Amino acid sequence: MAPRSERLLAVGALKLCAARDDEDKGACPLLLIGGLGMQLTAWPAGFLDALAEAGFAPIVYDHRDTGRSTVLAEAGAPDLLRALRRDRSRLAYGLEELADDAAGLLGALGVPRAHVLGISMGAMVAQLVALRHPDKVLSLCSMMGSTGRRGVGQASNAALAVLLRGGQVDEDGAVALRITQRQVTAGPNEAIDASRVEAAARAQFQRGHHAEGSARQLAAILAAEDRTEALGTLSVPTLVVHGDADEMVDPSGGVATAEAVPGARLLMVPGMGHGLPSGRWEELVRAITANAGVAG
C-alpha cells in the first residue's frame, strides 16, 4: 500500500487538507467523511487498508475548522444554547456547508463521482451530500448517524457530559478528555488501551487542535434541521450501520435513518459502541462493498 500523502486543495474560499490512495487508478473512489473534530489521521490505517484491498481508493480529509484545513477563527465561539433551539441566525455554518465542502473536494480532486461513507457527524454530512449533490454519489453509507429528528439518536447523559466538555485548549486537558470519551463511548467488549489513545490524541493535538472549531461544528449539529422527509427522496443504494451499544448517538438514530431512506439496509452491530473496533472491520467492509456493488 502506498503511503497516504496529505495535500491542501482549494475548495471555494477554503483550503481543505486531504489524502487519498490513488496508486490503483481502477479502484473505486470512496470519500470518507469524519465526525466532530475528527482529523483525517484518526481513521484507523487498518480499516483504510481493508477498504483498499476490497477495491476502493479511500479519500480522507479534514473538515473546515479541523486539523490542517482552514480554521474560521474570526467566527469566534458559537452560541450553543441558541443552536440547541435550532436558531440558525448565529451559526458560522451549517451541516449543509460541510456537505458542499465534501462535494467541492471531489471536484478539486478531479473525481466526478464517488461512493460516500460518513461516520457520526460525518454520517449526517454524507446524507446531505447525497441530497444536495446526487450526481456525485454512487452509494451512501451512513454510520452511527441520525436524521436530525428530535427524539431519536440522542446521546446518553454520560456521553453528552463529555461532549459538552470539548473546549479543552491545553494538550494535557484535551488528551485526558479524549481518553474519557473513548471509555464512555466504546462498546462493552472493546478493550481500551489508554496509552495508545493518549499517543494518538497527542499526535492529533500537535497536528492541529481547534477547540472553538469543534464547538462551531457542534453548533451545526445541534441546529440541524430534520432530514427525514428529504431522505425519503433518495434513490442511491444506502447502507446504515449502527452499534447497538452506541452511547453517543442512540441506535434509534440508525433505525430512523434506515426507515427514512427507501430500500436502505440496516446493519445493527451487536456490542459495538461509537467507534470502529478492529474486530468488526471485516464485517463492515463486506457490508460496505456489497452496498457499493449494488451501484455498479
pLDDT of residue 26: 67
- Structural domain containing residue 85: 6-295
Measured from the Cβ of residue 127, the count of other Cβ atoms closer than 10 Å reads 30
pLDDT of residue 24: 57
Whether the Cβ atoms of residue 295 and residue 138 lie closer than 8 Å to each other: yes
DSSP-H helix ranges across the chain: 45-53, 80-84, 95-108, 121-132, 157-163, 171-185, 194-208, 211-222, 228-231, 252-260, 281-295
- For residue 68, tell me if it sits in a domain: yes
- Among candidates 122, 106, 14, which has minimal Cα distance to 69? 14
- For residue 105, tell me if it sits in a domain: yes
pLDDT of residue 161: 86
- For residue 113, tell me if it sits in a domain: yes
- For residue 1, tell me if it sits in a domain: no
Percentage of the chain beyond pLDDT 90 is: 82
**What would the grid cell of residue 56 be?**
476502493
Report d(CA 176, CA 198) in Å as an integer. 8
For residue 12, give the CATH number of its domain: 3.40.50.1820
pLDDT of residue 165: 77
Residue identified by cell 451501484 is: 295
Query: What tens-digit pLDDT sequence spans the chain (296 residues)?
Result: 344 689 999 999 999 999 987 555 668 999 999 999 999 999 999 999 999 999 999 999 999 999 999 999 999 999 999 999 999 999 999 999 999 999 999 999 999 999 999 999 999 999 999 999 999 999 999 999 999 999 999 999 999 888 887 666 789 998 998 899 899 899 888 888 889 999 999 999 999 999 999 999 999 999 999 999 999 999 999 999 999 999 999 999 999 999 999 999 999 999 999 999 999 999 999 999 999 994 44
pLDDT of residue 22: 59
Q: Mind giving me the DSSP string for 65-130?
A: TSTTS---GGG-S--HHHHHTT--TT-S--HHHHHHHHHHHHHHTT-S-EEEEEETHHHHHHHHHH
Total tally of structural domains belonging to the chain: 1
CA 251 centroid distance within chain: 16
